[in-house]
Amino acid sequence: MTGVVLLIIVSALIFLGLAEQVLDRLYLSDKGGLLVIGAMVVGSFIDIPLWRNPDVSLNVGGGIVPLALAVYVLTKAGSGKEWIRSIIGIVVTTGIIYGVSKLYKFDVNQGVIDPQYLWAIIAAVVAYVIGRSRRLAFIVSTLGLLFMDVARIIEVNRLNLNSPTRIGGAGAFDTIIVAGVLAVLLAEIVGESREALQGGPSSEGKPEALREALDHPQVDKGREEE
């Protein structure tokens, strides 16, 4: 399973201390990050039945855990702008994926890329473009794909189709994990590149106290010496 393998790789990066900055953006410690990954891996094998005809279930590792983490990160971030940007991003991501799925019929046995990874790439790119931060990229990409599953359930009920749906489960688990990791990685690479080109971290969008510290580092250094 691609998602599980990817989570194991992320766990190794945490053990090696190479993911500290990303975890900080998600308001997680190393232990917290490993607990979340462990919950995703174990929970990927657990489905909670929601209702029948058609059969609908909620996967713990691919549905409940990412949803809980996204809500946690968003509540910790706390600004109205981030809430609005997240909601817009989730709606746009869900809409684009749903629209592409209707405009083009993908054949899993042909083509350059498997559809579930195409959804992950689309979600990751849209999430970063709208979110412009590591935490919002993660929130938008994961929740956008989860809401895609919800949209599929609504469509199945509307058309009276007897098609079982697993929210966050089966192939969707891999897609959600890949999308979340890609979105954060994209934000990390682009963000670090922009900071390097600017000669340091940008103060745009930061709290007032932090903006002053970034814009006037010598002042803060003088205060420390006093």
Question: Would you place residue 110 in the very low, low, confident or very high pLDDT band (cuts 50, 70, 90)?
Answer: low
- The pLDDT tens digits for 127-158 are 888 877 888 888 888 898 899 888 888 888 88
The answer to whether the beta carbons of residues 25 and 200 sit under 8 Å apart is no
Considering only 65-69, 94-98, 173-177, 221-225, which range has the smallest mean pLDDT? 221-225
Q: What's the whole-number mean pLDDT along residues 19-33?
A: 85
Question: Residue 159: CB partners within 8 Å, gap ≥ 6?
Answer: none
Looking at residue 113, its pLDDT comes to 67
Question: Would you place residue 35 in the very low, low, confident or very high pLDDT band (cuts 50, 70, 90)?
Answer: very high
Q: Between 59 and 225, whose confidence is greater?
A: 59
Q: Between 1 and 69, whose confidence is greater?
A: 69
Q: What's the whole-number mean pLDDT along residues 24-41?
A: 89
Measuring CA to CA, which residue among 166, 176, 225 is closest to residue 65? 176
Looking at residue 205, its pLDDT comes to 46
Measuring CA to CA, which residue among 37, 28, 33, 25 is closest to residue 134? 25
Start-end of H helices in the chain: 2-15, 20-25, 30-43, 65-77, 80-103, 115-131, 134-158, 171-198, 208-215, 217-225
Looking at residue 60, its pLDDT comes to 93
Q: Three-state DSSP class for 66?
A: helix
The answer to whether the beta carbons of residues 149 and 156 sit under 8 Å apart is no
Q: To the nearest whole number, what is the mean pLDDT of the chain?
A: 78
